[in-house]
Amino acid sequence: MTEASTINGYTLHRVLGRGNTSLVRLATNAQGQLVAIKLPLAETLAVQDAAERFGNEVRLTLQFRHPNLVRGFEGTPFGPTAFLAMTYYPRGALNEQLATLPGKTLPLNEALRILADIASALTYLHRQGAVHQDVKPQNVYVTEEGRAALADLGNTYFVVQGGKTSGSPFYMAPEVYQGEATSSASDVYSLGVMLYELLSGERPFSGSTYEELMVSHLTRFVPPLIHLNPQVPRPVTRLAELALAKRPAERPSADQLRRALLKALGEEAEEIVIEEDKPVVEATRPVGRHGPTPAKPTAPEPVETVAPEREGRHWNPFRRRR
């Protein structure tokens, strides 16, 4: 399937990125417009859990509608022709953009805008009762105008139905390392890591192995953001520090972060109106984590990152060390 030149009317072109379970290719639709096509690998389709995770991503990407979530156009959740057609972002993922910048930092207002957009996407998801579970720059895409959108809903689940705990070690909350269930507060923690990363140029917690990262997240405290970047407005620095609280109940909501970030940009925070979402894709069996039986919390499952094709081989922090 990955060698095919077309799929469901889309003409496939070069590979944009490849991860452990899927690859993303540039494509054109029948009208000649560029889109990104995500395709599961053959080995992904052969493993039920991985195949269901891809199906979950297809269904939720097509179901949810928000300007700060990557837009899905069409998809097939299961089978040998499974795919997901999405908006194409020529600038690539945010982590790719940061890697090319001096000090890996954006101008202050550009960083605040991206963070406000992701906080808005999370506010929308959390009000739907959903948890993203994998907020990180690798899953953020930015337009030429500097507006950001959150991608990869493969590990997203609805709280009332339960879900398998998952995350990426650099951005996982302490409770996730301890194998507890994720929540909206876990997403806020991940966003807090991104706040520090984008506004100071460094991740707040580091380690060369999974175990070192776990110890760092569980036991270490970050310095005040204002000391790392005095230009950041104080209300934002205060909430950024609270977002990294070890206890979930002490963290602000995504909406509180959204409002503070928009205020720092000199904008008024509009209310996010939730309309009834109707699934676009009807699966013939439960998709991913949305079956009728709530799943019990399990040890966190580090998830993949789609690596740029030009990136070299290096230690993969998204795979648990055995």
Please give the positions annotated as active site. 134
Residue 117 burial (10 A CB sphere; 0-12, 13-18, 19+): buried
What is the C-alpha to C-alpha distance for residues 173 and 189, in angstroms, rounded to an integer? 6
Residues 6+ apart with CB under 8 A from 107: none
Query: What sign results for the dihedral spanned by CA atoms 239, 142, 307, 3?
Result: positive
Structure tokens at 195: 């706040």
**In terms of Cα–Cα distance, which of 13, 22, 6 is closest to 57?**
22
